[in-house]
Structure 1
């Protein structure tokens, strides 16, 4: 059995301090956690084997043309031809992938930062909420594919348009999730901070922001995928480098296997980025992770 850590709330002059005693962890706890990780990896590998087996059998026995659905072997050959080169080679996937991830990361930082800032302001002020929320929903309801050509005209065919569209797509998930999380604080906790003469910023930092952290990471998890998607959409419209350019060039010569290879790389990047966000969430919002377990 695992004994829970005991916590004591101690009021101070600037807020609330939580003192926790060291929990007694059963030695088998880590083994069970590792076993769950191994089981999850095994299930994922079995799923991949079944997927590729079904794919190969469908192509072979249903006689699907290669220009519609290439075989897994053809996709693997196209993938390997772009990976088995020097990272500095313009014929490989490394330089385009780096360009896409760089612009997506910058756009994610800008969009999620603005989303968190405006979400916090709207959660703190009803006036700001009524002023900005309708326009935020109106902006989100616009089809981004229709806005993308305007963004390219405004920011050019360089990295600026890719970053702008990436930030635009990453903005709304962070805005809504941070606003919802900050507004979901129990009134009793706010009253307690007021009784301790805490300032508004201290209440936000000590109570509201930790309470909203699971919501914020959920928004960040979606924003990562949307930022990558926005960068690819911008590269379709015009770029010199990027995975969107790789897909467009492969499509122009009817290299369907090359298109699938680029999609496999993007899918792998999405899984990797999702894992990074979840790992960061498990370290930062550790109390929510224990609650889920």
Structure 2
């Protein structure tokens, strides 16, 4: 009997969130708007590099302050046009940074989602944990990072710990907010069907909070990458932070800019991956945006 009631509730939620047939035309419009957005981004990128090149050339900016785009391209190509296993290229440092960032992201976002769910379900847990979560977030991460390096060493452990620390809070707050934003009518419907708290969480609350969760994940993935780089600045054997530190030591400003370009491209790529996952999983969210 309980399974039948849960099935009825699931069907009701699915009918409410299901897309209508006219969505085909909206899909074409969405594809067109995505293409125009990409075109605008490319035009902006061209204008940026053009203004950069003209400023360096006609304002006589020294190369140790702002290198030319050509110098940055040469430094970038010298690190890309090598074997992926070469220690002189960007591939191995980038792999080390991304690996630690993803592990830290998985730990931090998983812990944030779990604690956010618990706080949304229990006022006692919320009052117990929320003040400490805000206190932890208010601490400057630059001051915490040396302590984390001392506790976890100069290996991958400290990088993963700082990445998890930075990824934790966005996922915690967004999941908590999304789970608490469910309409009371839906909760009353599940109660009228004698659904358990877990069934209500799985069928109603979690789908409702999915856009919030992906918004938190979108921030967390960038913060995890940032935390890994900060930890590599403090001490590491490999990583993009080490590449930047070594380039700064020999005043290779073009090399520093090349590494920053790679990190910026990774940030855009990771953001696109998260948005693509959200578009596939949270398909009912398009209706609200339209």
TM-score range, shorter chain: over 0.9
| Aligned-residue offset at 1:3 | 35
- Length-normalised TM-score, structure 2: 0.92
Change (3 A) 1:202 1:55: same
Using the alignment, how far apart are the partners of 1:194 and 1:85 within structure 2?
62
Name the structure where helix makes up a greater proportion of residues: 2
Change (3 A) 1:126 1:71: same
Provide, for residues 44-80 of structure 1, a one-character-per-residue CA deviation record: whole Å limited to 9, x for no partner.
1110110000000000000000000000000000000
Provide, for residues 208-257 of structure 1, a one-character-per-residue CA deviation record: whole Å limited to 9, x for no partner.
00000000000000000000000000000000000000000000000000
Residue pair 1:14, 1:202 contacting (<8 A) in 2 also: no
- Length-normalised TM-score, structure 1: 0.91
Give the structure 2 partner of residue 290 of structure 1: 287
| Aligned-residue offset at 1:263 | 0.2
| Aligned-residue offset at 1:290 | 3.0
Residue pair 1:111, 1:167 contacting (<8 A) in 2 also: yes
Residue pair 1:83, 1:92 contacting (<8 A) in 2 also: yes
Asked whether 1:143 is paired with 2:140, we answer yes
| Aligned-residue offset at 1:94 | 0.2
Give the structure 2 partner of residue 19 of structure 1: 18
Q: CA RMSD in A?
A: 4.6
| Aligned-residue offset at 1:112 | 0.1
Question: Number of residues paired by the alignment?
Answer: 287
Provide, for residues 21-62 of structure 1, a one-character-per-residue CA deviation record: whole Å limited to 9, x for no partner.
866xxxxx5443332222111111110110000000000000
Change (3 A) 1:207 1:62: same
Change (3 A) 1:3 1:55: farther
Using the alignment, how far apart are the partners of 1:241 and 1:160 within structure 2?
13
Gaps in structure 1 of 5+ consecutive residues: 24-28
| Aligned-residue offset at 1:129 | 0.3
SS at match of 2:7: strand
| Aligned-residue offset at 1:11 | 7.2
Provide, for residues 155-187 of structure 1, a one-character-per-residue CA deviation record: whole Å limited to 9, x for no partner.
000000000000000000000000000001111
Using the alignment, how far apart are the partners of 2:288 and 2:7 within structure 1?
18
Gaps in structure 2 of 5+ consecutive residues: none
Using the alignment, how far apart are the partners of 1:19 and 1:72 within structure 2?
49
